[in-house]
Structure formats: C-alpha cells, structure tokens
Amino acid sequence: MTLSAEFNQKAKAILMRELGPVDYARFIQQYQEGTGDFTRDRHLLLGEESARTLHEQAARLAANGELSRPASAKQLSTGD
C-alpha cells in the first residue's frame, strides 16, 4: 500500500471512530475525487493571464486609487 493510501485509510478510520457512521457518511459525501486537468482548464479560462499580469493590473488600480491595499498586507517580491 502506498504512503498516500495508508494515510487516507488511517484518516478515514479516525473520522469513522470520532464521528460515527452517519456523520462520517455525511462528511465523506461533501467531497468527490477531482478529475480533469486543472492547469489546462485554468489556461483555457484565463488565457495568458499570469500572476505577473494580475499583479501588474492590481498595481495600476492601486496607483489610480481604485484599489486600496489593506494596512496589514505586505508587498511580495516579483522576482525581478
């Protein structure tokens, strides 16, 4: 058994023990295993939008006073 499968098996056993079978089933029904290719779908939806492009848009909006930065927010380096 793989490490991931062992981890999942232990987690499910703990949930079953702590929640009981009815609440365990309710909890598990909230989740479904994902399918597809998130990266491909993201590119289809966003086109060539990247973190850098979005950062540049936010900087322009902030410079024009259209976007305010929360006082507690910290500026991260863009790697330039």
What pLDDT is recorded for position 49? 66
- pLDDT higher than 80, residue 1: no
Domain boundaries, the chain: 37-65
pLDDT-derived band at 59, boundaries 50, 70, 90:
confident
Q: How far, in Å, are 58, 77, 80 from residue 55 at the CA level?
A: 5, 11, 13
Q: Looking at the whole model, is its pTM more than 0.85?
A: no
Per-residue pLDDT of 17-57, as tens digits, reads 999 999 999 998 888 777 788 888 877 877 766 777 878 88
Across 21-55, b (16+ Cβ under 10 Å) vs e yields eeebeeeeeeeeeeeeeeeeeeeeeeeeeeeeeee
Alpha carbons within 13 A on the beta-carbon side of 57: 6
